[in-house]
A = this chain, B = another copy of it.
Amino acid sequence: MTKLYIKYFFVISFLCVANKVSAQTYFQDSIIISKIYNEALTKGKSYGMLQYLCNNIGHRLSGSNTAQIAVNWTQTSMSKMGFDQVYLQEVMVPRWIRGEKETAFIEEKGIVNQVSICALGGSVGTGGGGIKAEMIEVKSFEELKARNVDSVRGRIVFFNSAMDASELNPFDAYSKAVYQRVNGAIEAAKLGAIGVIVRSMNVSIDDYPHTGSVRYSPTVNRIPAAAISTLDAEFLAKRLKNNPCLKFQFRLSCDTLPDVKSYNVVAEIKGYEVPEEIILVGGHLDSWDLGTGAHDDGAGCVQSMEALRLFKALGIRPKRTVRAVLFMNEENGLRGGLEYARQAKLLNEKHIAAIESDAGGFTPRGFGIDADAATITKIEAWKELLAPYGLSEIGKGHGGADISPLKEQNTALLGLSPDPQRYFDFHHSALDRFEGVNKRELELGAASMAAMLYLLSTYGL
């Protein structure tokens, strides 16, 4: 048992001398939060669940067999936890398949060097013979557009702007660099390029290509798009400097099949006082297919399941309804998040707040809040209760992709903010496996979700 709540009692008693009721309430809250962390750290189930999800089931690419197995397993697991209801919510999802492992080669003066690439999610394939062409390297769309069209037409465009290591938060660096991956194929195809190779979204220099979704436009030719590892991006840039006429050859066997049926997985404990007000915790169950989606976002799923389990294990009866949602298809469509919000509107459900964990299973540092100023102020006031657990960064910020469609219903959106420094080493790559997740860090995140869920379900907004 941590002794924090005892220490905290004196702080609160001091702060609240003029308000005995408030001091008493806060003391009770601090005890419950202490119990949540204690249970998560000593008898937590999140780590074991993540191990099963990643190692026994595997990746959960939308529409895949393993994604369906994960739907069944999480439904069954939560059904055994004794919640008030557990159900599936049907949603049609894209069915993109990677096919055979991708290959790529740099050819110059009779020398051939193989480099590490992977197809971007949603890319068209190259056909069995692959694509072989000269290449131009650019570091921005402006640079691309300034090129002579003749220098782009028939060539492969290599987008090689690195994530800015000087950004303290790598998520900020990601936001500024990811346009290349998302829209690079459209911009390059507009100028007649026949393929794009994008530097992996990763600050580290290593040999793992990182996938992620690519967009196409209905009015622009769809050209194959792949990510190259940061190590090989550096190598390729050097070779191009020496020999601008080198040939780049790559082959992608990926394809998009018709949409298939899949599901969001939903579990809830009914509120005993204001059951019609819902507080949601969630993550996304789908993942990319190179690793097994441990940080992205197996972590968020098992933390959401664990948040509700902690309520049951500790006998916490919520005043408002608490609901765990494992969304399908965040990575390449957001269909689960969109369908969930659509159903909520149809059913006239009232979502007061939604908390998403989709930034990795690392030591939690706070919550970002996407809501009006008064709501942010109200949630910030709980910092006193949460800062003793390392949650000192609570304020305006990002909620999460899956919960973002709820914004139009005026739901306060919260995103768990774990330490961000290591996330992009794993993100969308073969390294995103169970072994990359630390047990205590994951458990602390689950407890933090549960603590915020407890406060929101107790006090509303």
Contact = CB atoms under 8 A, between A and B. Distances in A.
A41 B168 CA distance: 8
Contacts of A421: 363, 438, 440-441, 444
Given A204-B439, A438-B422, A441-B422, A2 B363 contact: no
A165 B42 contact: yes
A440 B1 CA distance: 33
A166 interface: yes
A363 B204 contact: no
Interface in A384-421: 388-390, 392-393, 419, 421
B170 A42 contact: no
Nearest to A425: B438
Interface string A167-190: 110100000000000000000000
A325 B320 CA distance: 57
Interface in A361-382: 363, 365
A42 B168 contact: no
A241 B1 CA distance: 26
Nearest to A169: B390
Contact of A4 (B41, B165, B168): B168
A79 B441 CA distance: 40
Contacts of A223: none
Contacts of A37: 166, 168
Interface in A1-59: 1-2, 4, 37-38, 41-42
Nearest to A204: B439
A363 B360 CA distance: 15
Contacts of A439: 204
A203 B42 CA distance: 10
A396 to B, nearest CB: 13
Contact of A166 (B41, B203, B392, B393): B41
Contacts of A1: 166
B168 A2 contact: yes
Nearest to A4: B168
A234 to B, nearest CB: 15
Interface in A289-327: none
A197 B441 CA distance: 29
16 contacts: A1-B166, A2-B167, A2-B168, A4-B168, A37-B166, A165-B440, A168-B388, A168-B389, A168-B390, A363-B419, A363-B421, A365-B390, A392-B393, A419-B419, A421-B438, A422-B438
A393 B387 CA distance: 10
Interface string A418-458: 01011001000000000000111100100000000000000
A441 B362 CA distance: 13
Contacts of A363: 363, 419, 421
Which of A168, A388, A389, A439 has the largest count of B CB atoms less than 10 A from its CB? Answer: A168
A40 to B, nearest CB: 9
A204 B439 CA distance: 8
Contacts of A441: 421-422
Contacts of A425: 438
A307 to B, nearest CB: 18
Given A2-B166, A421-B438, 7 more contacts: A168-B389, A170-B440, A203-B440, A204-B439, A363-B419, A419-B419, A421-B444
A413 to B, nearest CB: 23
A291 B116 CA distance: 31
A377 to B, nearest CB: 18
A42 B438 contact: no
A439 B388 CA distance: 28
Contact of A440 (B390, B392, B422): B422
A438 B422 CA distance: 7
Nearest to A422: B438
A203 B38 CA distance: 14
A340 B352 CA distance: 60
A189 B170 CA distance: 54
Contacts of A389: 168
Contacts of A38: 166
Contacts of A2: 166-168
A2 to B, nearest CB: 6
